Amino acid sequence: MKQIILFILFIIFFNIVKSNQCNCILNEYCKPLGVGERTEFIGFSDNSTGNYLNYDYYSITTIGVYYDANISIPKEFVCISHANGVRLVWWAKIPNQQLSNETFRNQFIDKIIESIQKENMDGVIYELDDPNSLTSENSDFFTEIIEKTFKILKPINWNYQISSKLPFSPNIDLNYNYLGISYFVDYLVVMDYNIGSRVTRDGNCLAGSNSPNPMIEQGIKNFTSMGIPGERMVLTYPWFGLDFICVNGSLSSEDCFVEKDEDDNCNDIKTIANQISYGEIIKILNDNNITNGGINWNSNSKSVFFNYYDYQGILHQIHFDNPKSLFIKVFLTKRLRAKGIAAQTMDNLDFTDLVNSYNMYDTMAYFFM
């Protein structure tokens, strides 16, 4: 009897101590979100300088956050998210080079699980540093990380979310054990960006769309024919564009020929184009000192592009998505019966321009209609 009373006193004491550690207005906000499975709008977040205060917590359902290891999550970020019924999960990048290192894998999983509990977060979305280059030797190691995480976290709290970011089509890297992974995640997050610019014509590189709809659709169909239906997928769309430097042409030319990369091809999008945030794109379009050729519609990729001369007089072409093209993507996503939609990343918005920023959120939120 004495022991039981002592035990109860201990629990009460322990809970008081614990609740004192909560910095949110309500203690409840320090607990992981108690919401079950739902349609998702995931916003990725990778800028730790305070943008999180400006995110649209009314439209998103989950935030996937990636900060450098030396930066901790502000307590307030957790409070705001939970107060708005939004999950805050780690977006954890795993270095491909360390996959075969068992010590590394186990420490990585332990760190994720420990920090989810310590920071009162809601789960994890894994991604490889170099997601299109998983080797066959490392395939099982990647699946193992996801499986172990799932098996540890789910018994602690079934509402924790475990997921993985993957190429937009299984064909991009057939070394992933997609089906195996799908058993140990709440859903798969596919990356529908940096896709379509590897266009060649007569041996030349041509600038192209960041996220062409026909490819997105093919990618999902190829997952479906592998036995992973749309209901298991969240489709991530870019809130950034691709900025190409054209070797010739003018403000009105549709074709923008691009210098090839070192390997004499167009495969590495990072070497033939620069990523540019939606916020920066709007600034270029509104800059009276920069002449642009006006926004054009690409009816094949269902996205927009424009040419401009930079301050040095060099011709560029930017391919991107705006509310008009995102709207069509939202309905493509619905037609594919996907589980959700995601934005890469919310920090690509310029929050000093709230009208253009919130237009992007509002457009994506049509997914819930």
What the block records as the tokens of 253 is 């030319």
Neighbours of 11 (CB within 10 A): 10
Quick note: the x/- pattern for ligand NAG over 221-260, rule CB under 6 A, is -x------------------------xx--------x---
Which is nearer to ligand NAG, 22 or 290 (by Cβ)?
290
Q: Judged by CB under 6 A, which of 96, 115, 117, 218 binds ligand NAG? A: 218
Rounded to a whole number of angstroms, the minimum distance from the CB of residue 340 to ligand NAG is: 20
Q: Judged by CB under 6 A, which of 1, 4, 68, 263 binds ligand NAG? A: 68
Q: Is there binding between residue 300 and ligand NAG (CB under 6 A)?
A: no
Burial code of 90-125, b = ≥16 C-beta within 10 A, e = fewer?
A: bbbbbebebbeeeebbeebbeebbeebeebbbbbbb
Q: Which stretch binds ligand NAG (CB under 6 A): 44-52, 80-88, 133-141, 175-183?
A: 44-52
Rounded to a whole number of angstroms, the minimum distance from the CB of residue 282 to ligand NAG is: 13
Residues 73-92 that bind ligand NAG (CB under 6 A): none
* 3-class DSSP assignment, residue 206: strand
Number of chain positions touching ligand NAG (CB under 6 A):
22
Q: Is there binding between residue 107 and ligand NAG (CB under 6 A)?
A: yes
Residue 52 is which amino acid?
Answer: Y
Q: Is there binding between residue 101 and ligand NAG (CB under 6 A)?
A: yes
Which helix or strand (DSSP H or E) is residue 274 part of?
strand 274-277
Q: What are the DSSP calls for 116-150, one per residue? A: HHHTT--EEEEEESSTT---TTTHHHHHHHHHHHH
Q: What are the DSSP calls for 30-97, one per residue? A: GSPP---S--EEEEEE---SSGGGGS-TTT-SEEEE---TTSPPPHHHHHHHHHTT-EEEEEEEEPGG
Q: Could you say which DSSP state residue 342 is in?
A: E
Which is nearer to ligand NAG, 28 or 102 (by Cβ)?
102
Q: Judged by CB under 6 A, which of 83, 215, 226, 328 binds ligand NAG? A: 215
Q: Is there binding between residue 51 and ligand NAG (CB under 6 A)?
A: yes
Which is nearer to ligand NAG, 34 or 50 (by Cβ)?
50
Binding residues for ligand NAG (CB under 6 A): 47, 49, 51, 68, 70, 101, 103-104, 107, 169, 171, 204, 215, 218-219, 222, 247-248, 257, 287-289
